[in-house]
Chain A
Amino acid sequence: MNRQIDSPIVLLGARLLSPYIMLFGWYVIIHGHYSPGGGFQGGALLAASLLLIRVAGGSKLAELQIREFATTPLAVIGVVIYFATGLVAMMMGGHFLDYEALPIPGMEPAWLRYTGILIIEVGIGLAVMAILIMIYDNMVRGEDYA
Chain B
Amino acid sequence: MIWEVELIIYLFLALSAIVALEVKDMLVAVVMMTIFSFLMALLFVAMGAIDVGFTEAVIGAGVTGILFVVVVFQTSRKSND
**A interface vs B, CB < 8 Å?**
1-2, 36-38, 40-41, 44-45, 47-48, 51-52, 55, 132, 135-136, 139-140, 143, 145
Contact = CB atoms under 8 A, between A and B. Distances in A.
A44 B59 CA distance: 7
Interface string B58-70: 1100110011011
A44 B62 contact: yes
B63 A41 contact: no
Interface size range on B against A: 10 to 19
B55 A40 contact: yes
A19 to B, nearest CB: 16
A44 B58 contact: yes
B41 to A, nearest CB: 12
- In the A-B complex, list the 3 residue pairs whose CB atoms are closest, starting with the nearest: A48-B62, A36-B50, A44-B58
Contact of B73 (A38, A45, A51, A145): A145
